[in-house]
């Protein structure tokens, strides 16, 4: 459990976005056993380096943006990361929400 939500390791935070796409479902299955550790690494990074955007954490931790984004979405849903209300530019020039630590992260 982390934040106010309890998720199983099978939970796919992006299911509503990809609509059950077989490749996306397979990708979720492939990272299932690593999700908790990835959330912990990302949360610790934000604790030590935030406030920041997801891309900064992904780059610093050598994670694919899609992997970091999904785990950050889970941490946000649980209230462990919260938006500051400001935005910063990404490397592509788009704006992204700046996030900071919310509640303490607690392992599943």
Q: Are 68 and 58 in contact (CB under 8 A)?
A: yes
Q: Give the whole-angstrom CA distance, residue 107 versus residue 37.
A: 9
- Rounded average pLDDT over 71-82: 94
Domains and CATH numbers, the chain: 36-101 (1.10.10.10)
Average pLDDT, the chain: 84
Which pTM does this prediction carry?
0.76
Distance CA 19, CA 28 (A): 13
User: Tens of pLDDT along 33-42?
Assistant: 888 999 999 9
């Amino acid at each position: 459990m982390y934040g106010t939500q309890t998720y199983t390791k099978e939970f796919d935070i992006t299911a509503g976005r990809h609509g059950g796409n077989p490749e996306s479902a397979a990708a979720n299955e492939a990272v299932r056993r690593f999700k908790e550790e990835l959330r912990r690494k990302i949360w610790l990074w934000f604790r030590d380096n935030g406030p920041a955007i997801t891309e900064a954490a992904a780059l610093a931790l050598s994670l694919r943006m899609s992997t970091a984004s999904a785990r950050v979405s889970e941490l946000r849903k649980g209230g462990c990361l919260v938006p500051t209300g400001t935005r910063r530019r990404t490397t592509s020039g788009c704006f992204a929400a700046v996030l900071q630590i919310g509640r303490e992260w607690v392992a599943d």
